[in-house]
Amino acid sequence: MESIGADLEVMKRVPLSDNHVDAIRKIAEEKSYKAGEMVAEIGDPMDQFVYVLDGEIEVVDDFSGERLVESTLGPTQFMGELAFLNAGSHTLPMRAAKDSRTLEAPREAMLDLMRKVPELSDHVIDVFSARRRKQFEDERSAIKIVGADRDAAVRAVASFLSRNRIPFQSYDLDGEDKEARKLCTLVDHEPSVVIGTERVIDNPTPRKAARLLGLDLDICSKQDVDLLIVGGGPAGVAAAVYAGSEGLDALVIEDTAIGGQAGTSSRIENYMGFPTGISGADLVYRGQVQAMKFGTRFVMPRRVTGLRQRGDGTFCAQLDEGDEVCARAILVSTGVQYRKLPIDRLREFEGAGIYYAATDMEARFCAGKNAVIVGGGNSAGQAAMYLSRVAKCVHLMVRDDSLAGSMSSYLTERLEADPGITIHFNHEVKGLDGDQMLERVRVEGPDGERDLECGGLFIMIGAAPNTEWLSGLVELDDKGFVLCGEDVDRPMFAQTSCDGIWAVGDVRATSVKRVASAVGEGSVVVSDIWRYVAALKEALPDDPPGSQDD
């Protein structure tokens, strides 16, 4: 937490300019707080930009009520972190340490000002990003995960938060420190998700946690937008950046975590501009911040289950749990999902030893144990390299007798040179065993079957497109990928057979399955969508999306 304090000290030396403060004053109201008065409680919406004129605001320990760090926010500083851009919630309580005065500007007005004044935007986002990064790294948050190593549901929430860079604190049920003991007493020594000091999430799910954190954006029965982007991988996030910068009212819906499958890649070394490599999560996360800066909103974890076209040419997407979002245009960027092994007890162990991604969260559960990876592609190879740092041994199970046709040569050479990785050719996983957690896998190879102790089984065996929700509105190939461009007699590479629907990234039938190409497609397609939406608005200037019946 000292690092957060260090960031605050830096910002004292680099205040907003007088011109920027004057601009904020025009859209803000002045407020006063008495010493000891709460400025923000845990779970409060981060819907105001709070600039300190006089006094002192401190971060509060939600258990003791005492100041959490030595550094405080004083005159010329401002509250908040990246959740402000996405209308999220406060995860740390803030209190006036002495009588204080603030300028408080509504979120929408502040975002509009930031779009108009890039220097102001750069300064605010630099501070917000530094705070979020340090809170995440130092695990400082009102969100407390207790006993993730013992419960699949709690682990699912922890994985969701981790993949989306949302700060949380993790506690072992057998923890010895005072706070851990107090938490364990609060939840009666059961694996749990706790918000603040009293709110325990019953039957925890990522969706419940997201709702409390404002990540669901309070979607009501209907929302109207210019562009609905379905899928938050590299293609979808790139489109989100350009859509926002072009003035489109865009909404991204993602069912798991921003980054998609690319977000599970521990190191991408062939993306231009990053000679030493960058993780897929970090790459797409930077794009998400850019998109939010331009006003694009992100909803997660929500899933689109169906799509229909209205009589006015617009579309309405049905979401899980019955919500509906209407839009003038749809961008399909749902990518692909890993196929599952056809073996008994697979569903039972999913999240309890069986994983489809190899990130920090999954790696900690197989530290010092055998990790088994099924697959022969680049994703499997990157996972093996990443897990070899923490696992006792990484066993890569490959159905074929070579990696030459499925994996980049540089990655194959590294796997073969790593003493912590064993490649098993002509091998398959045939069975699973364990009590509450996966403990062993049965593998079959040229020499027959044998059992292998296993702390984590990572399945990366090819992919299928996520296109069922399109409800027959667009043409698909025989594998379920979306046909676009010349394949459906359209002039633009990303146009589908249905006016108003585009597809980019891995879900497109003829796409090149690379992160860089997905980003390029998502960037390029927005100009075509902008022209379409502009023409539709001109034709139906008084009708919001979905206003006419079929």
- CB contact burial 170-197 (16+ within 10 A = b; e otherwise): bbebeeeeeebeebbeebeeebbbbbbb
Closest CA to 129 of 121, 117, 139: 121
Spatial contact of 238 and 259, defined as CB atoms under 8 Å apart: no
Its pTM stands at 0.83
Tokens standing for 306?
A: 């169906």
**Segment 488-529, tens digit of pLDDT:** 999 999 999 999 999 999 999 988 878 889 999 999 999 999
Q: How confident is the model at residue 202 (pLDDT cuts 50, 70, 90)?
A: confident
- Residues 6 or more apart from 212 whose CB is under 8 A from it? 43, 89, 195, 199, 201
CATH architecture of 222-337+464-539: 3-Layer(bba) Sandwich (3.50)
User: Is residue 268 pLDDT above 70, yes or no?
Assistant: yes
Spatial contact of 43 and 196, defined as CB atoms under 8 Å apart: yes
First to last CA, the chain: 56
Spatial contact of 113 and 293, defined as CB atoms under 8 Å apart: no
**Segment 340-360, tens digit of pLDDT:** 889 999 988 988 899 888 877
Tokens standing for 459?
A: 């399945």
Question: What's the whole-number mean pLDDT along residues 29-56?
Answer: 95
What is the distance between the alpha carbons of residues 66 and 188, in angstroms, rounded to a whole number?
Answer: 25
Mean pLDDT, rounded, of the chain: 88
**Segment 120-172, tens digit of pLDDT:** 999 999 999 999 988 888 888 888 888 887 788 888 899 899 888 899 988 88
User: Is residue 221 pLDDT above 70, yes or no?
Assistant: no
Spatial contact of 411 and 385, defined as CB atoms under 8 Å apart: yes
Tokens standing for 526?
A: 């927005």
Spatial contact of 349 and 470, defined as CB atoms under 8 Å apart: no
CATH architecture of 2-138: Sandwich (2.60)
CATH topology identical between 2-138 and 143-212 = no
Spatial contact of 366 and 390, defined as CB atoms under 8 Å apart: yes
Percentage of the chain lying above the pLDDT 70 cut:
94
- Residues 6 or more apart from 354 whose CB is under 8 A from it? 346, 432, 438, 456, 457, 459
Q: How confident is the model at residue 548 (pLDDT cuts 50, 70, 90)?
A: low
Regarding the domain with residue range 143-212, which homologous superfamily does it belong to in the CATH classification? Glutaredoxin (3.40.30.10)
**Segment 400-458, tens digit of pLDDT:** 988 888 888 889 999 999 999 999 999 999 999 998 889 999 999 999 999 999 999 99
Weakest mean pLDDT among 149-153, 176-180, 327-331: 176-180
Which residue reads 């502040």 in tokens? 110
Query: Which residues, in sequence order, are bridge partners of residue 397?
Result: 374, 424
Residue ranges of domains in the chain:
2-138, 143-212, 222-337+464-539, 346-461
Candidate CATH numbers 3.50.50.60, 3.30.420.40, 3.30.1600.10, 3.40.50.2000; the one for domain 346-461: 3.50.50.60
Which residue reads 């910068």 in tokens? 245
